[in-house]
């Protein structure tokens, strides 16, 4: 290559995998500098892959946040989530296997087996090091896994940003030389309706503390503007059983009202407009057990 020729950029897909609640979605959001994946303390908050684009000079890393690896796949939705993990791993140039500092579980080990054939392009990302009293507490985890030929062992704290710069540098260095997949300024391939539905679902999942979150999904039925110039959003909260309705709506409509208020506040920042949000709660039995229903609700089946 001559001195006058530009250095070719690197670009590739980076799969983020791990068991539920290890911080995958928080990591994606911090890396791209924008909230793309919703975050709650409920397992399986992420149900569909969420793509986030990070540009660094002439380089572009396309991160794919995947659902948490589930123990059981009896339901169609769970099998769909598992399929997305395997697809992301098959297509990626680099994988980030995220585990929790000081806690390696059987689910973590199951994922290690899934990525074993591609450990040479998999980083073991040890998250939540900010929760440790001392970095010395990392040693048992590193010792237990040091015999595995991961491409790198990188301790981070996604919430505080600690060591994320090193992670990005390591990732970019291992991406293939290739043109960018997405234009500058584009941070995700998900449309506005998807992002709105996810924000609403996040608020409801946070407020509802029983089993309802796992049978709850949100569909944006209409996007437009009203006569006052507000962004008009009509959304349906789908649940699986009539008995769940009272829980989601709450006493005197309190839960649904609070979820709507919290969602409007966040959506105003996302959309950059005043928001008028209307929510309805409806029953669609066994939606999570039907590929046809899942497809109709916008899931990639």
pLDDT at 19: 92
Question: 166 lies in a domain?
Answer: yes
Question: 179 lies in a domain?
Answer: no
| Confidence category of residue 277, pLDDT binned at 50, 70, 90 | very high
Q: Identify the weakest region by mean pLDDT among 61-70, 90-99, 128-137, 190-199.
A: 128-137
Question: 178 lies in a domain?
Answer: no
Q: Are residues 157 and 254 in the same domain?
A: no
The total number of structural domains that make up the chain:
2
Q: In this model, does residue 72 exceed pLDDT 70? A: no
pLDDT at 70: 74
| Chain centroid to CA 298 | 16
Average pLDDT rounded to a whole number, residues 45-69: 94
Q: Are residues 135 and 19 in the same domain?
A: yes
The backbone torsions φ and ψ at residue 255, rounded to the nearest 5 degrees and listed phi first, read -65, -45
Q: Are residues 167 and 18 in the same domain?
A: yes
Q: For position 265, which CATH number holds?
A: 3.30.300.20
Question: 185 lies in a domain?
Answer: no
Classify burial at 212, counting beta carbons within 10 Å of its beta carbon; exposed 0-12, middle 13-18, buried 19 or more: buried
Q: Are residues 137 and 245 in the same domain?
A: no
Question: 271 lies in a domain?
Answer: yes
C-beta pairs of 34-41 under 8 Å, 24+ apart in sequence: 34/187, 35/270, 36/65, 36/187, 36/188, 36/190, 36/195, 37/65, 37/198, 38/198, 38/199, 38/201, 38/202, 38/205, 39/202, 40/202, 40/205, 40/206, 40/213, 41/206
| Confidence category of residue 192, pLDDT binned at 50, 70, 90 | very high
Q: Identify the weakest region by mean pLDDT among 6-15, 89-98, 157-166.
A: 6-15
Question: 277 lies in a domain?
Answer: yes
Is residue 291 within 8 A of residue 83, CB to CB? The reply is no
* Residue-number span of the structural domain to which 278 is assigned: 192-296
Q: In this model, does residue 17 exceed pLDDT 90? A: yes
Q: Which of the listed residues 173, 205, 230 is the one where a domain comes to its end?
A: 173
Q: Are residues 21 and 119 in the same domain?
A: yes
| CA atoms of 287 and 266, how far apart (whole Å) | 27
Question: 164 lies in a domain?
Answer: yes
Q: Tell how strand 59-65 and strand 11-17 pair up.
A: parallel
Q: Which of the listed residues 173, 201, 236 is the one where a domain comes to its end?
A: 173
SS3 content of the chain, % helix, strand, coil (to 5): 40, 25, 35
**C-alpha pair distances (Å), 216 with each of 19, 88, 204, 228, 278:** 21, 25, 9, 31, 17
| CA atoms of 106 and 112, how far apart (whole Å) | 10
Q: Which of the listed residues 140, 173, 206 is the one where a domain comes to its end?
A: 173
Q: What is the DSSP letter of 148?
A: S
SS3 15: strand
Q: Are residues 88 and 229 in the same domain?
A: no
Q: In this model, does residue 4 exceed pLDDT 70? A: no
Q: Identify the weakest region by mean pLDDT among 43-47, 89-93, 182-186.
A: 43-47
Q: Scanning the structure block, which residue is given the tokens 């080990």? A: 109
Q: In this model, does residue 291 exceed pLDDT 60? A: yes
Q: Are residues 164 and 242 in the same domain?
A: no
Q: Are residues 158 and 205 in the same domain?
A: no
Q: For position 45, which CATH number holds?
A: 3.40.50.300
pLDDT at 298: 87
Question: 180 lies in a domain?
Answer: no
Q: Are residues 281 and 218 in the same domain?
A: yes
Q: Are residues 138 and 207 in the same domain?
A: no
Q: Are residues 147 and 65 in the same domain?
A: yes
Q: Are residues 58 and 152 in the same domain?
A: yes
pLDDT at 139: 83
**C-alpha pair distances (Å), 121 with each of 27, 59, 96, 107, 171:** 19, 18, 9, 20, 9
Q: In this model, does residue 194 exceed pLDDT 80? A: yes
**Each residue of 246-281: b (16+ CB within 10 Å) or e?**
ebbbeeeeebbeebbebbbebbeeeeeeebbbebeb
| CA atoms of 128 and 113, how far apart (whole Å) | 23
């Amino acid at each position: 290559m001559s001195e006058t020729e530009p250095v070719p950029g690197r670009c590739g897909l980076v799969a983020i995998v791990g068991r539920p609640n290890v911080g995958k979605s928080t990591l994606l959001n911090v890396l791209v500098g924008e909230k793309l994946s919703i975050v709650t303390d409920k397992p399986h908050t992420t149900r569909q892959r969420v793509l986030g684009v990070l540009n660094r000079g002439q380089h572009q890393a396309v991160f794919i946040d995947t659902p948490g690896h589930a123990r059981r796949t009896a339901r169609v939705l769970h099998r769909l989530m598992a399929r997305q993990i395997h697809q992301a791993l098959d297509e990626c140039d680099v994988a980030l296997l995220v585990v929790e500092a000081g806690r390696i579980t059987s689910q973590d080990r199951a994922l290690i087996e899934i990525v074993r054939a591609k450990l040479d392009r998999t980083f073991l990302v040890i998250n939540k090091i900010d929760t440790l009293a001392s970095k010395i507490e990392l040693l048992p985890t590193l010792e237990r896994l040091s015999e595995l030929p991961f491409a790198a062992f990188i301790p981070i704290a996604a919430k505080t940003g600690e060591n994320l710069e090193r992670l990005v540098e390591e990732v970019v260095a291992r991406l293939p030389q290739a043109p960018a997949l997405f234009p500058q300024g584009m941070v995700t391939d998900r449309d506005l309706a998807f992002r709105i539905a996810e924000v609403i679902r996040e608020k409801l999942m946070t407020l509802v503390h029983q089993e309802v979150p796992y049978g709850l999904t949100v569909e944006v039925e209409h996007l437009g503007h009203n006569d006052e110039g507000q962004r008009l959003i009509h959304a349906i909260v789908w649940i699986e059983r009539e008995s769940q309705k009272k829980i989601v709506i709450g006493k005197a409509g309190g839960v649904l009202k609070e979820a709507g208020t919290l969602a409007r506040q966040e959506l105003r920042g996302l959309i950059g407009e005043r928001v008028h949000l209307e929510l309805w709660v409806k029953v669609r039995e066994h939606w999570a057990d039907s590929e046809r229903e899942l497809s109709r609700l916008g899931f990639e089946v």
